[in-house]
Amino acid sequence: MIISEEFLSRLRKIFDLNLYEVKVWAALLSRGISTAGELSTISDVPRSRTYDILESLEKKGFIVMKLGKPIKFVALKPEEVIERVKKNLVRDAQERSKRLEKLKDEDVLKELTGLFSEGSKFVEPGDLSGSLKGRQNVYNHLDMLIREAEKTVTIVTTANGLNRKLENLMPSLERAKRRGVKIRIAAPITSENKKVAKDLSRVAEVKDTAGLRARFVIVDSEELMFMVLDDDKVHPNYDVALKLNAEFFAKALEQMFEIAWTKFKKA
C-alpha cells in the first residue's frame, strides 16, 4: 500500500487519529474487508498493536467488526464515517459540557478558586503578560477579557477580522453592553462586511477606519492585546498575539486612539 506521508498527515489532523490508526484505516479502505494480520502486513503496523488499533477505530465509528473465524473487519464509506465522527464529536462535547457545568456547584471549583486566589498574591502585574499562538486561542482569551470588562472595550481590527468578531465574540459583547460597558469597534468597512458592521452596531459604536490596518483590543484602559501578524498573510494556526497587563501603556495607546477615533466615519 503506497500512500504519501502528506496525505496520512492530513487525515490525522482532520479525524484526530494517531499514526497507527490512520495507517490501519487507510489499509482497510484499500481492501474493503480484511483480517487483523493482513492489515498489519499491509499497513506496516506491529501485529501486537493492530488489534488495539482496530478496536479503537471501531469505537470511533470508522470500521465494523464482522463476527466469524477468523474475525474480519469491514471498511465503511468515507461519507458514513464523517457522519459518525460528527455525531460522536457532538455527543462527547455535550457530555463534557455537562460535566464542566456541574463543577460550578461542586467543591472542586471552590478549591481551584482558592488555589488561584492564593497564588495570585505572589504574581506581579508584569508577570501576567505573555504571548498567545493560534487564532482560536486568541479569541478564547479575548472572549474572557470581554466577559470580565467593567467599563470599556476598544477593538481595532481588519475587514476580515470584523467578520470574525461577530462570529466569536457577539454573545460576550451583548452581555457586556447589558452590564453598561462602553464598546467601540473600528475597522475598514467594505461591501462584504457592511452587514456585519450593522449587526455589531447593536452592541457597539462602529466606525470605518478607511485605509488603516491594525489589530488590537484594549479593555478597561488596563489590559491590552495586539496581534502582531497580518491576518491576510498568516494561517490561523500560526497567528500570534501579545497580551499585556500594563495600565500605563494601555492608557497611552487609548489616548492616541481617541485622536484617530474622532476622524473615523460612523459605519
Kindly state whether residue 42 falls inside one of the protein's structural domains: yes
Same domain, 75 and 147: no
CATH (domain of 199): 3.30.870.10
Kindly state whether residue 145 falls inside one of the protein's structural domains: yes
Kindly state whether residue 93 falls inside one of the protein's structural domains: no
Task: Encode pLDDT of 112-162 as tens digits.
Answer: 767 656 655 554 555 456 888 999 999 999 999 999 999 999 999 999 999
SS3 117: helix
The residue out of 45, 80, 115 marking a domain boundary is: 80
Asked whether residue 110 carries a pLDDT value surpassing 80, the answer given is no
Kindly state whether residue 104 falls inside one of the protein's structural domains: no
Nearest to 267 by CA among 159, 156, 154, 189: 189
Calculate mean pLDDT across residues 208-213: 86
Kindly state whether residue 246 falls inside one of the protein's structural domains: yes
Task: Encode pLDDT of 44-101 as tens digits.
Answer: 899 889 999 999 999 888 988 887 788 889 988 888 888 888 888 888 888 888 888 8
CATH (domain of 76): 1.10.10.10
Range of the structural domain that residue 67 is part of: 5-80
Same domain, 61 and 145: no
Same domain, 69 and 146: no
Please give the pLDDT value at position 10.
86
Between CA 115 and CA 125, with CA 121 as vertex, the angle to 5 degrees is 120
Cell reading at 33 = 474487508
Asked whether residue 6 carries a pLDDT value surpassing 50, the answer given is yes
Give percent above pLDDT 70 in the chain.
93
Distance CA 88, CA 111 (A): 32
Distance CA 128, CA 145 (A): 13
Tell whether pTM > 0.75: no
Torsion of CA 44, 78, 18, 45, to 10 degrees: -10
The residue out of 80, 114, 146 marking a domain boundary is: 80
Same domain, 257 and 160: yes
Nearest to 254 by CA among 166, 182, 162, 159: 182
Same domain, 36 and 141: no
Please give the pLDDT value at position 119.
59
Number of domain units in the chain: 2
